Amino acid sequence: MKIRNAVALVTGSNRGLGKAFAEQLLAGGAKKVYAAARDPSSIKLAGVEKIKLDVTKLDEIAAAAKNCGDVTLIVNNAGIARGSGFLGADTIEHARAEMDTNYFGPLLMSRAFAPVLAKHGGGAIINVLSVLSWITFPGAGTYCASKSAAWALSNGLRQELADQKTQVVALHVGLMDTDMARDIPGPRSNPADVVRQVLAVLESGGSEVLADQSSRGVKKGLSAEPGVYLGGAPH
């Protein structure tokens, strides 16, 4: 899929990676970029069409699909992290919130917009996942579970939407220089660099982006002994 003349909808586009997607889509010649956020007034980027969209609300997703019928590219970027393990007092509340946004959000968006994409020749869906789609860290277990579910979703959508020629791209990345990761120590990627990689893979017809050394090392470590998901170190 080509960026030039595409019509994109980016969820969670008021900051961080979502804002970087919107910026680079505009710079790449997209005909229109719908910038979606729960509070559209928080979107400060010029040149986009702001829309109110909470990906956990069915009525808002349905309205977006109805009102944005020219979309050819969906970027499922909106996500939350509650910093919760599996055995804490608030685990169930946090797990449900993360699943609602990080898994059910992309699922509902993909279901709602699949007919729209089909109408325009197939288009594409980009799902923002994580290196934590493949491994689980203490203190972030519920977030990891939601991203693992979103990885399975991406793989399933790729198969189910193949007949209508919808390209599905999954982004795996570790820490980025965003508000979500600001209190987590360690090296981090520039969101603009990550988006450049994703859009290059999109235009080449690819399906997966390993945007940093962390994601590349962990994927390689899945088949190691012991597997990295069992506690082995990525290489």
pLDDT in tens, 188-231: 789 999 999 999 999 999 999 999 999 999 999 999 988 999 87
What residue spans of 28-67 are helical by DSSP H? 58-67
Q: Which of 34, 103, 143, 229 is catalytic?
A: 143
Strands (E), the chain: 7-10, 32-37, 49-52, 73-76, 124-128, 167-172, 208-210
2 located within any domain: no
235 located within any domain: no
- Which pair of tokens denotes residue 48? 């986009």
161 located within any domain: yes
Q: At a CB cut-off of 8 Å and minimum separation 6, what does 91 contact?
A: 84, 85, 142
149 located within any domain: yes
> Could you give the number of structural domains in the chain?
1
Domain that holds residue 152: 7-230
Q: Is 103 a catalytic residue?
A: no
DSSP codes joined into one string, 110-158 = HHHHHHHHHHTT--EEEEE--GGGT---TT-HHHHHHHHHHHHHHHHHH
Q: What is the spatial distance between Cα 93 and Cα 224, in angstroms, rounded to a whole number?
A: 34
Query: Would you state the pLDDT for residue 186?
Result: 62
CATH number at residue 223: 3.40.50.720
Q: Read off the pLDDT of residues 74-106 as tens digits, 9 standing for 90 and up.
A: 999 999 999 999 999 999 999 999 999 999 999
pTM of the model: 0.94
Omega within 30 of 0 (cis) for the link into 185: no
